[in-house]
Amino acid sequence: MKKFLSTIFALTLAFPIAAFAQGALKIGTVDMQRAFKEYSKTKDAETKINEAKNSAKKEYDDRAEAYKKALDEINNLNKQLDAPALSAEAKSQKAKERDDKIANIKNMEREISDFRQTRERQLQEQAMRMREGIVKEITDVVMEKVKTTNMDLVFDKSGLSLNGVPVLMYSHGNVDFTDDIIAVLNKPGRATSSIEKTRTSPSATPARAARP
């Protein structure tokens, strides 16, 4: 996200200096990071992700508890096998029972490991899809503003160059339209089909996460 329109700075060098002096270019700025944070759906998305994380943690804890119980049973059987009064037949039965539980607990270890890796990947993909959808929606609102006001250039105030320094070093406050974008985004009843599709479509292909 911080790289949004960051290459615009280089493109401006292609315009004659006289064009800037004459005020021929209509330039605007927007803080994409702030728009992302203050958009109500960003908070909704964070809530959904946290709910999914809590659900995954509960599933993991339940599996871990079952694993601990199985391990305790194995340890208990080992103690019984050490009892000198145990008959040979009883010892053989308990040894088989213990071995079966050991084989089962190894399967549980693999299942727990697979579950953790799968859920982590799913949560990352879910967060990425939500973030991508929100960024796309904000970008669409910005571009609509650009079209209606006939802007020539728009800079992202939160964007950083490849060297890690702000792309926009300075601008007059009256060229910033971030408040307008946030107001449009949070307007009650506004149609937001693009983000809803991104949230609800399980087959959506995750793209690279944009960084607001």
Higher pLDDT, residue 115 or 14 = 115
Which residues are 153's β-sheet partners?
27
- Name which of 202, 192, 211, 45 is nearest 127 in CA terms: 45
Q: Mean pLDDT across the stretch 152-171?
A: 81
Q: How confident is the model at residue 48 (pLDDT cuts 50, 70, 90)?
A: very high
Question: Distance between CA 124 and CA 119 in Å, rounded?
Answer: 9
Q: How many CB atoms lie within 10 A of CB 162?
A: 9
pLDDT at 19 over 80: no
pLDDT at 28 over 50: yes
Q: Looking at 16-25, 59-68, 155-164, 166-175, which range is the least confident one?
A: 16-25
Residue-level pLDDT at 87: 85
Predicted model pTM: 0.66
Q: Are 170 and 23 in contact (CB under 8 A)?
A: no
104 Cβ neighbours under 8 A, 6+ residues apart: 70
The sign of the CA dihedral 127, 130, 136, 142 is negative
Residue-level pLDDT at 82: 86
pLDDT at 7 over 60: no
At residue 129, the 3 state secondary structure works out as helix
